[in-house]
Amino acid sequence: MSPTEAIPLLIVVLLMVSIGGGDVQEMSVTFQGDNDIDSLADVHVVAGGTTTVPGEATVEGDVYVIGGTAAIDGTVEGDVTLLNGNLSVRDDATVTGTLRTYSGSPTVGSDASVGHVSQFEPPTPSSSPAQRVGGFLLQFLVLGAFGWWLVERHPLVIENVSAAITEHALVSGVVGSLGATSLLVLFVYMAFTLILLPVAIIGLFAEFLVILYGQVVFGYLIGTRLPIERDGVATLAGIAVFLLALELLGFVPYLGGIAQLGVAVVGFGAVLNTYFGLQRFEPITIPGET
C-alpha cells in the first residue's frame, strides 16, 4: 500500500479509536515484510506486508487491517477490524471481541471462535475496476490542476523542489524519511487526547498534501523529458505517466512497495528542504572544505 493510500485510512483508524473511547497508550504500524507477533500494542495497524499471530500466541489489543494481509492463528483478546486488504482467521484461532468488516470479506475458518461478527455492506465493491479507474482519474485531475497552476503561475517554486529531487535525492530522502516518520508518530500520539485530536487530523491531512505535492513535482520532472513544448501540457502528461507508473509498481511484490515509499519520502524531503519551494536548497558546506 502506498503512503497516499495509507494516510487517509490511518486517519479513519484514529477517528474510530478516539470515538471508541478506550484507554489507548501505544499504537504500532507495520508497512511491509513478514511479521510474526506474540505481543501487541493497545492498537496495531496492518498497512502492508503480512502480519501473523502464531498459533501458540495470545495477544491483547485491537487490530486494524488497512492494507496487506493479517493472519490470525492464535488468540486475539480484542477486536479485529478490516478496512482494506486481506484478513484470515484460521481454524482453532480465537478473536474474543468483535470482527468488523467494512471492505472485502475476511476468511474465517469453520473451527475458529469469534465473539461477534459485524459486516458493513458497501453499495459497490471497493476493488471493482471502475472504481479503481475513477480513483485514478480523480487523483490525476487534482494533481494535474495543481501542477498546471504551479507551472503557469509559480514556475520557480516547482523548479526549486525539482532541483532538490534531482540534485540532492539522498539528502531529500533522509530528511523525508525522518520528517514523515517523526510527524506520523507525533500526530498518532496527539490523536489519543480529545483536545489534540483535531490538530492530529489536520496534521495528518497536511502530511498527505505534502506527499501529493512531491508527486506533482515528479510528474513535472517526467514532463520536462517529454517532447512537448508547452510546460503546462508537458506537466499534465508527466503526472499521468507518473501515476500510471505508481499503479504498476503496486503489482510488484515487496520491491514495488519499497519503490513507492522511496518516491514518497524523497518528494516529502525535497518539499521540506525548499520550504515548500520558496527557497533554493543548498547543502551546508564546512568552512575551509575543498
Domain end, chosen from 119, 151, 175, is at 119
| 53 and 162, same domain (yes or no) | no
159: cell is 523548479
| 109 and 151, same domain (yes or no) | no
Stated pTM of the model? 0.64
CB atoms within 10 A of CB 190: 18
| 145 and 163, same domain (yes or no) | yes
- String of b and e for 26-64 (b: at least 16 CB within 10 Å)? ebbbbbbeebebeebbbbbbbbbbbbbbeeebebebbbb
- Please indicate, yes or no, if residue 284 is contained in any of the structural domains: no
- Please indicate, yes or no, if residue 283 is contained in any of the structural domains: no
158: cell is 516547482
- Please indicate, yes or no, if residue 280 is contained in any of the structural domains: no
- Please indicate, yes or no, if residue 290 is contained in any of the structural domains: no
Quote the pLDDT of residue 127. Answer: 54
| 75 and 196, same domain (yes or no) | no
| Strands laid side by side in the 34-36 sheet | 34-36, 50-53, 69-72, 86-89, 107-108
Domain end, chosen from 67, 88, 119, is at 119
Residuewise pLDDT in 10s, the chain (290 residues): 666 667 778 778 877 877 766 666 777 888 888 999 888 778 889 988 899 999 989 999 899 999 889 999 999 999 999 998 899 999 999 999 999 998 777 899 989 999 998 877 555 444 567 877 888 899 999 999 999 999 999 999 999 999 999 999 999 999 999 998 888 778 877 766 657 778 888 988 999 999 999 999 999 999 999 999 999 999 999 999 999 999 898 888 778 888 998 999 999 999 999 999 999 998 876 665 54
| 207 and 232, same domain (yes or no) | yes
Backbone angles phi, psi at 2, to 5 degrees: -75, 155
Quote the pLDDT of residue 125. Answer: 45
